[in-house]
């Protein structure tokens, strides 16, 4: 596939692989808001900032729509990304495995997969939605797993295959919850009751762990401060 056959929505950052629709499949914006992937790579770049000695955060700059932050994890034997930038930036250092929290933003993972090359993983329950059109998954998992010190736990809720991750003293949870007007809320774009049940599951997984930071959709936050907000959210009525 040629780069010019891939388009990026500048409103949300969703990549359309091999087709040019009237509207963005994710946010509904009209196609006058689309640019080619090649143009996207010219306008935007991906900037890496450290979180710890082994983990860093990747973000497109300038900000590219609603794009999720990507987290690079350097283990003893491999480099992993949790989620993937929307902008294809050839200057990034290689990644061995791209693992997803869920299917809403697959970024330019198809291009990074071919460029490095990399292996792309996602939960099986999230692998066959229409938003996955044009993307290749090398591994679809169905159970929790541990790989190179990264622990993966299937949560369900926000999406059927939503998966959160732990590595060292960090918790990776993307946009399962986020802040709106300085107040934490559950992601409303999914089944409400199942999403709340997933929140209880997350709280169980956090029990007894020595977590220092939460790596989320667009922020890295002190765990104790985040946990206070999260527990407040769990006791609120729908």
Place of tokens 């609603």: 66
pLDDT tens for residues 47-84? 999 999 999 999 999 999 999 999 999 999 999 999 99
Before 62, cis peptide (omega within 30)?
Answer: yes
Please state the pTM of the whole predicted model. 0.96
pLDDT tens for residues 157-171? 999 999 999 999 999
Residue 236 confidence (pLDDT):
87
Higher pLDDT pick, 4 / 84: 84
Inform me whether the pLDDT recorded for 1 exceeds 90. Answer: no
Residue 124 confidence (pLDDT):
98
The 8 Å CB, 24+ separation contacts for 53-62 are: 54/167, 54/168, 55/167, 55/168, 55/170, 55/215, 57/215, 57/220, 58/85, 58/92, 59/85, 60/13, 60/85, 60/86, 60/87
Of the pLDDT bands very low, low, confident and very high (cuts 50, 70, 90), residue 238 is low
């Amino acid at each position: 596939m040629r780069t010019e056959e891939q388009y990026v929505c500048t409103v949300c950052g969703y990549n359309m692989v091999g087709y040019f629709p009237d509207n963005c499949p994710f946010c509904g914006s009209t196609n006058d808001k689309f640019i080619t992937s090649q143009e996207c790579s010219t306008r935007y770049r991906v900037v890496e900032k450290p979180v710890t000695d082994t983990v860093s955060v990747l973000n497109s700059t300038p900000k590219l729509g609603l794009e999720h932050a990507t987290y690079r994890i350097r283990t003893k034997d491999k480099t992993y990304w949790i989620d993937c930038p929307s902008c294809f930036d050839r200057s990034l250092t290689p990644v061995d495995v791209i693992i997803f929290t869920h299917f809403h933003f697959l970024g330019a993972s198809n291009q990074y997969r071919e460029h490095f090359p990399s292996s792309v993983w996602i939960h099986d329950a999230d692998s066959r939605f229409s938003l996955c059109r044009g993307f290749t998954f090398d591994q679809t998992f169905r159970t929790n797993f541990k790989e190179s010190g990264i622990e993966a736990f299937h949560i369900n809720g926000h999406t059927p295959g939503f998966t959160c991750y732990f590595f060292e003293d960090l918790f990776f949870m993307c946009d399962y919850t986020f802040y709106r007007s300085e107040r934490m809320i559950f992601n409303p774009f999914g089944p409400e009751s199942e999403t709340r049940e997933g929140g209880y599951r997350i709280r169980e997984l956090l029990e007894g762990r020595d977590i220092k930071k939460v790596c989320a959709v667009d922020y890295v936050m002190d765990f104790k401060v985040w946990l206070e907000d999260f527990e407040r959210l769990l006791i609120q009525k729908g």
